[in-house]
Amino acid sequence: MAVLQSTLDPGADRAVLDRRAMLEALREHDELAARVIAAGGEQAVTRHRARGRLLARERVDLLLDEDAPFLELSGFAGVHEPAEQPGARLLTGIGPVSGVECMVIANEATVKGGSLSPSAVTKQLRALEIAARNRLPVISLVQSGGADLPRQEEIFVPGGRIFRELTRLSAAGVPTIAIVFGSSTAGGAYLPGLSEYTVFVKDQAAVYLGGPPLVRMATGEEVDDETLGGADMHARESGLADHLAVDERDALRIGRQIVADLGLRKAGPGPSLPPDPPQRPAEELLACASSDNRRTVEVREILLRVLDGSRFDEFKPLYGPQLVCGWGSIDGYPVGVLANNGILFSPESQKGAHFVQLANARSIPLLFVQNITGFMVGSAAERGGIIKDGAKLINAVSNSTVPHLTLMVGASYGAGNYGMSGRAYDPRFVFSWPSHRIAVMGGSQLAGVMSIIRRSAAERAGTDWDDAADLALRAETEAMIDAQSGSLNATGRLWDDGVIDPRHTRTVLGLALSAVHSAPVEGTGRFAPFRM
Ligand code: COA
């Protein structure tokens, strides 16, 4: 197999500039990560601990196999909402429990009682979707006040889907386990109610459709927490608790035993190639994204720092050169790669569609590396059939059944986002670098288009044209679009599964590939007719 060679000089002005910009962005991310880890803040955490309880992160740590990696997902969910705790009061991710990769969903009870905000609902649904697509057992670590009541309007209807997805997973043969550490009220009671296996912590779990105040209001009955929905009652009388744990650690131990007893085996083919590290250090990835969207970077510089042994067999390198396609592997898992090296023209689109079909014929997962300002526009491109060729790529990507992983390293604009398996195209996982920008087009282009439209309208109406006012509006629009396009806004809204440090790219993609191999990896020959 060919080995990619680097031409990047890490000491060159441009590389130094790009590296500095990336480190600056990562500093902001570190500050946010510290806020996520601080959970509900000192006071709430002290109160929680005084009650003898563990934080969500500690529960997950004890559940997972010792020293095992944890692929945290949607870590900055909700960060676009000023009042929301980054991470949205919920910890989700994939890690091995008794040797089985599981999806873990843990409420962070120190933030607003672990109640579910709109972002938390989206995050929990995304975790369940990932579990379903990749056939990962789900372990819910429950302690939640249910819906964030003042925001119920935004939660009630979409939130109902959580329970539906949980039981559908189970019906599809994916095991579900609920370990209840505290309150699990109303809708939350259906988390254990709809899970296949349940563990309740003695003197802590409180599971009921309506709490004591609601019961008093509805029926006049005076009843305390423990009698109404305590762990002991559910273990002995209602039958909702399968296991009564003496404390949190005991509950997690029982959870691990339940997974061990499942006897699960992965359905995918697993790694088949040598998993040796790339020939260049991951540290240099910091200089591999452009700090200026108008200047593109050589995508092979990224690939050679991510793929096993920097090996890459390129497909049609002389044809449609701005879409780099080829075969390589990560942690021994074969992958077909489609990576942008500039705008998509007709040949690039045809080449991509052809390559997606080949990967499906061989049942090899695909990695899309997005750095794309869109498809080519203009009369030459239109006459050359850019619409029908772009449609071929979108057809191939939409109907492909091999797992897709998408990595967004720079711009992700317009239909380029679609053709390169953006979020709406159901990739199994989507990760971004902090340098990632996502929008229908760049801020200056959008502001320019709007200005041209305004000027034409003014000419038609015969009204005066004020250059200064137009310039001010252009600047305002550009700033607004640029702010909306940033990686934090995108990850807050769950347009990806997390913003990652570029240096962790290989590790993250390796873990994601391992997760997708929990399900069968099967390509298809069935596509929509390709418009020729
Ligand atoms: N929605 C919004 N905020 C909630 C909440 C909910 N469902 N449940 C708790 N909170 C908030 C509290 O207002 C408080 O906020 P603050 O820190 O800004 O003051 C914080 O979470 C902690 O609540 P507190 O009651 O002091 O904590 P606790 O550990 O003693 O009890 C609960 C936690 C969840 C058991 C208790 O708050 C409760 O019963 N909540 C309501 C549960 C419910 O009926 N839900 C209906 C779901 S449909």
Find the 207 Cα to ligand 1 centroid distance in Å. 14
User: Which residue CA neighbors atom 42 of ligand 1 most closely?
Assistant: 145
Interval between CA 145 and ligand 1 midpoint (Å): 5
End-to-end CA distance of the chain: 33
pTM score, whole prediction: 0.95
Q: Which of 110, 121, 149 to mutate to test the pocket of ligand 1 (most atoms within 8 A of CB)?
A: 149
- Expressed in angstroms and rounded, the spacing between residue 128 Cα and the centre of ligand 1 is 24
Nearest CA to ligand 1 atom 40: 145
Question: Is residue 355 domain-shared with residue 504, that is, in the same domain?
Answer: yes
* Number of the ligand 1 atom closest to the C-alpha atom of 145: 34
The Cα 68–Cα 20 span in angstroms is 32
Q: Name which residue sits closest to atom 41 of ligand 1, judged by CA.
A: 145
Q: Are residues 212 and 182 in the same domain?
A: yes
Report the pLDDT value the prediction gives residue 189, as an integer from 0 to 100. Answer: 94
Asked if residue 143 and residue 169 are part of one domain, the reply reads: yes
**Residue 152 neighbours by CB under 8 Å, 6+ apart:** none
* Ligand 1 centroid distance, CA of 157 (Å): 20
| 384 and 498 fall within a common domain | yes
Given 218, 239, 262, which residue is the final one in a domain? 262
Same domain, 298 and 315: yes
Average pLDDT, consecutive stretches of 10 residues, N- to C-terminus, the chain (532 residues): 95 95 96 95 96 96 97 97 94 98 97 95 98 98 94 95 97 98 92 98 96 92 95 98 98 98 95 98 96 86 98 98 98 98 95 98 98 90 95 98 97 91 97 93 89 93 92 93 91 97 98 98 98 92
Does residue 107 sit in the same domain as residue 161? yes
Cβ atoms within 10 Å of 189's Cβ, excluding its own:
23
Task: Report how far ligand 1's centroid is from the alpha carbon of 258 (Å).
Answer: 30
Paired strand residues for 37: none
Query: Could you tell me if 285 and 137 lie in one domain?
Result: no
- 120 and 47 in a common domain: yes
Same domain for 212 and 312? no
Q: Which atom of ligand 1 is nearest to the CA of 206?
A: 35
Q: What is the pLDDT of residue 442?
A: 85
* 148 C-alpha to ligand 1 centroid (Å): 8
Q: Which structural domain, as residue segments, surrounds residue 155?
A: 41-262
**Which protein residue has the closest C-alpha to ligand 1 atom 30?**
113
Cα–Cα distances (Å) from 1 to 299, 325, 328, 496, in that order, read: 19, 14, 9, 32
Distance 400 CA to ligand 1 centre (A): 45
Residue 104 near residue 61 (C-beta atoms within 8 A): no
Q: By the 8 A CB rule, do 459 and 532 touch?
A: no
Residue nearest to atom 26 of ligand 1 (CA): 113
How far is the centre of ligand 1, averaged over its atoms, from the C-alpha of 151 (Å)?
A: 13
Return the residue whose CA atom lies nearest to atom 36 of ligand 1. Answer: 145
Q: Whose CA is nearest to atom 38 of ligand 1?
A: 145
- Strand pairing class (206-208; 176-185): parallel
Residue from 185, 207, 214 to probe ligand 1 pocket by mutation (most atoms less than 8 Å from CB): 185
Q: What is the CATH number of the domain that holds 105?
A: 3.90.226.10
Which residue owns the Cα nearest ligand 1 atom 24?
113
Q: 255 CA to middle of ligand 1, Å?
A: 26
CB 205 within 8 A of CB 232: no
- How close is the Cα of 31 to the center of ligand 1, in Å? 27
Q: Whose CA is nearest to atom 29 of ligand 1?
A: 113
Number of domains within the chain: 3
User: Residue 431: what pLDDT?
Assistant: 98
Answer yes or no: do 449 and 493 share one domain.
no
Q: Is the same domain home to 190 and 325?
A: no
Give residue 202 CA to ligand 1 midpoint distance, Å. Answer: 20
Residue owning the nearest CA to atom 39 of ligand 1: 145
Q: Whose Cα sits closest to atom 43 in ligand 1?
A: 145
In 3D space, the residue among 183, 402, 411, 465 whose CA is nearest the CA of residue 297 turns out to be 411
Q: Are residues 105 and 229 in the same domain?
A: yes
Residue-level pLDDT at 367: 98
Q: Are 101 and 514 in contact (CB under 8 A)?
A: yes
Ligand 1: lining residues by beta carbon, under 6 Å: 112-113, 115, 145-149, 183, 185-187, 211
Nearest CA to ligand 1 atom 33: 113
Distance from residue 241's CA to the centre of ligand 1 (Å): 23
| C-alpha to C-alpha distances, 364 to 253, 395, 477, nearest whole angstrom | 37, 18, 43
By CB atoms closer than 10 A (0-12, 13-18, 19+), residue 316 is: middle
Q: Which of 213, 244, 262 is the last residue of a domain?
A: 262
Tell me which residue of 270, 338, 272 sits closest to 308, measured CA to CA: 272
- Residue 144 CA to ligand 1 center (angstroms) comes to 8
Of the residues 208, 228, 262, which one is the last residue of a structural domain? 262
Please tell me the residue having the least CA distance from ligand 1 atom 9: 113
Q: What is the DSSP letter of 116?
A: B
